[in-house]
A and B are shown apart, each in its own frame.
Chain A
Amino acid sequence: MSLSINDVYKVARLARLGMSEQEAQTAHDQLSNIFGLIAEMQAVDTNGIAPMSHAQDITQRLRKDVVTELNQREQFQAAAPQAKNGLYLVPQVIE
C-alpha cells in the first residue's frame, strides 16, 4: 500500500495541521518509510497467533467508584485563554 501526497493532506486536515508543500513532502517521505516497515511486518507469518491490542499482554486494573476529585475550577480557569460565568469560552462553533 503506497501513500499519495493527497493522503498526507487529508490526514493533516483531519488532525487540523497546516502544512506547507515542503512539510507535506517531508511528512510523505517519513510516513512512506513507516508504511514500508509495516509491509515488512505484514510479510511475517502470524498464522495461529491471536492479535494483541496492546504491546504488553496484561490487563487493566479497575478503580473503585468513589469521588476523589475536588472542585479546582478557579485554578484550571486561571490557565484558560478565556472563561466567563464558570464556562470556558471558545470561538463560536455551531454545526
Chain B
Amino acid sequence: MQWEIVIGLEVHAQLSTNSKIFSGASTTFGAEPNTQACAVDLALPGVLPVLNRGAVERAIRFGLAVGAHIAQRSEFSRKNYFYPDLPKGYQISQFDLPIIGQGSLTIQVPTTTAGKTYKKVVRLTRAHLEEDAGKSLHEDFQGMTGIDLNRAGTPLLEIVSEPDMRSAAEAVSYAKMLHTLVRWIGICDGNMQEGSFRCDANVSVRRPGAELGTRREIKNLNSFRFLQQAIEYEAQWQIDTLEDGGTIHQATVLFNSDKGETRAMRSKEDAHDYRYFPDPDLLPLAIDNELIEQIRGTLPELPLSKQARYVTDLGLSDYDADTLTSSREMADFFETTLNEVPKEAKLCANWLMGDVSASLNREDRDITQCPISPQQLGGMLKRIADGTISNSAAKEVFKILWSEGGDPDTIIETKGLKQMSDIGAMEAMVDEIIAANPTQVAEYRSGKEKVFGFFVGLAMKASKGKANPAQMNEILKRKLAG
C-alpha cells in the first residue's frame, strides 16, 4: 500500500552580525571559551537587552528575498526553560508577532534522470528573530558539565516552512536553496560545520489524501547528507510501525549519524511547557516603510531571477542555469567571463561547469579561490570561439593558465598552439597521407566508411593537433572521394 511522506523544515540561520543580538559582545567563531560572553549574555542581575539593528536589517533582507510580509510591528517573547547553556532561564524569541510573515521559495528538485529537475514552490510560514544558546561540553569533566557561553546571544533567524515537501529529495533541495539564498543576500555565512545553518525536520506519513499523520521532529541536522538520511530512516520507521499496527507518538528525535538511525529523546511530559509571554524588557519593534525600501534598494538580483534570465535570454538549460546560480560568486564569475565573449554563453557554461569545476574540486578550492580570473578564462574562450585554437589546444592553454598564469594570447603564441588554417598546407598533408596508404584508401572507396577515422587520426597527427578539425575533415572527404 502507498504512503505519502510529509515534511516541514525549521532552519536556524546564524545572522552574520559583528555583535550579538542583545549585547555588544563579539560573535566571532572559535574564540577561547567565555571570552565573548558579557554581563548581558551571562544574565547577571540588572542587565537589559538592547536589540541589534544589524540583526533586524538582515531579517528584513530575508523577508524581501522570499516575498514575505514584513511586520510593521513585531514583539519579543520569553520562551521559558531551564538549561545551563541559557543562563537567564528563558530564551528571547518571537512568538505571537514575528518579524517576517508568510513567503515562498521556489526549489529545483533533481529526479532520478540525470540533469532532469522539476520546480516546486514551498510556502514559508514565518521567520523570526531569536538568540542562540551557549554550548555544553559533557566529556571532559567527571560528573560535571562545562559551559561555554560565547555562542549565547548570537542572533538567529528561525525560518519555518509549511509541511509542503513530499520526499527527502525535496527537503534537501529546499534546504540547499535556502542555504544558497541566505549567503546570496549576505545575511549568514552558511558554514554548516560551525553550526551557522542548522535544520530541524518535522516528518510524518499518511495515506495519500488522508489527514496529516502525527509528526516527529528530528533535531539539529547539520549537513544535507544527514538531512536526507535522517528523513529516509524516520519515514521508513514510521511506515513500518504503522504497518505493524503501531501508532506514532509526537516526539523529538535525534539522528545518530554513525548508526544512521533516529532515536527518541527522553522527555518529561511537561518539558515543553514553555509559557511564552511578551518580554517586559523589550518594547515592540517598529519597522517603517522607509527602512524596508532602503534595504530593498541594496538587494542583489536573486538566484531565481538570474536562472530565468539565463534560460530565456542566454538559451541555457535549466540544469546549467541552476548550477551556475549555486552561489553568488559562481554567478558573478560566469557573468564576468561572459562579458569577454558575450555570444558564447553555452561555451562559458561548459568550461565553468567542466574543466574549471573539476580542477577546483581536485584541489578542494571554491570558485573564489580559482587561480584563473574570469578575464583570463574569457580571453581563452574568445580564441576558441573565433577558431584560433582547437578545444584540445584550449585544454593545454587552460593547464598553463591554471598553474603558471599569464595572458591566453601570449601562451597561444609562445607555445605555438594556433590552429592551422592554411588550406594549401593541409591539402598537401592529405595528399601525402593518401599516397602513403593505398590499401586503406581502396577500402574507404569501396564503401568501408569506418576507415575515415583512421585518416582523421593521421591528419591530426601530421598537423601536430593544430589543424582546424572541421576544415581538415572537409579536405579529407573531398580528396578521398577521389
What is the interface of chain A, defined by CB distance below 8 A to chain B?
Answer: 10, 13-14, 16, 53-54, 56, 58-69, 71-73, 76-77, 82, 84-95
Contacts and interface: CB of A to CB of B under 8 A. Distances in A.
A49 to B, nearest CB: 15
A60 B56 CA distance: 12
Nearest to A65: B54
B270 A10 contact: yes
B33 interface: yes
A68 B275 contact: no
Nearest to A52: B284
B283 A60 contact: yes
Interface in B116-168: 136-138, 140-141, 143-149
A59 B286 contact: yes
Main secondary structure of the interface of B (DSSP, over half): loop
Nearest to B44: A76
Nearest to B50: A63
A84 B146 CA distance: 8
B105 interface: no
Interface in B425-461: none
B421 to A, nearest CB: 60
Contact of B284 (A54, A71, A91, A94): A54
Contacts of B270: 10, 13-14
A58 B73 CA distance: 11
Contacts of B33: 85-87
Nearest to A89: B144
B27 to A, nearest CB: 8
B2 to A, nearest CB: 36
B266 A87 contact: no
Nearest to A68: B24
Nearest to A88: B147
B92 interface: no
Interface residues of B, number: 57
B275 A14 contact: yes
Contact of A59 (B34, B36, B39, B285): B285
A66 B42 contact: no
A81 B266 CA distance: 29
Given A60-B51, A62-B56, A69-B24, A84 B141 contact: yes
Contacts of B38: 69, 72
16 contacts: A54-B75, A59-B73, A59-B283, A59-B284, A60-B282, A62-B52, A63-B24, A67-B24, A69-B26, A69-B36, A71-B35, A76-B39, A76-B44, A89-B144, A90-B147, A93-B145
| 5 nearest CB pairs, A to B | A65-B54, A68-B24, A87-B146, A69-B38, A59-B286
Given A60-B51, A95-B265, A16 B82 contact: yes
Given A10-B270, A87-B34, A94-B138, 17 more contacts: A16-B82, A56-B283, A58-B283, A60-B282, A60-B284, A60-B285, A65-B18, A66-B24, A67-B18, A67-B19, A69-B23, A73-B37, A76-B34, A86-B35, A90-B84, A93-B136, A93-B138
B17 interface: yes
Given A59-B286, A60-B284, A87-B137, A71 B36 contact: yes
B97 interface: yes
B53 A87 contact: no
B280 interface: yes
Contacts of B97: 53
B5 to A, nearest CB: 27
- Most chain A Cβ neighbours within 10 Å, of B50, B52, B146: B146
- Most chain B Cβ neighbours within 10 Å, of A10, A63, A64, A82: A63
Nearest to B287: A59
A91 B143 contact: yes
A54 B280 CA distance: 7
Contact of B148 (A10, A67, A87): A87
A84 B73 CA distance: 44
A42 B50 CA distance: 33
B80 interface: yes
Contacts of B73: 59
Contacts of A63: 19, 24, 50-53
B26 to A, nearest CB: 5
Interface string B20-64: 000111100000111111110010100000111111100000000
B110 interface: no
Interface in B166-199: none
B468 to A, nearest CB: 58
B25 A69 contact: yes
B151 to A, nearest CB: 13
Nearest to B80: A14
B94 to A, nearest CB: 11
B147 A87 contact: yes
A50 to B, nearest CB: 10
Contacts of B53: 62-65
B313 interface: no
B149 to A, nearest CB: 7
- Most chain A Cβ neighbours within 10 Å, of B33, B55, B83, B285: B33
A61 B54 CA distance: 13
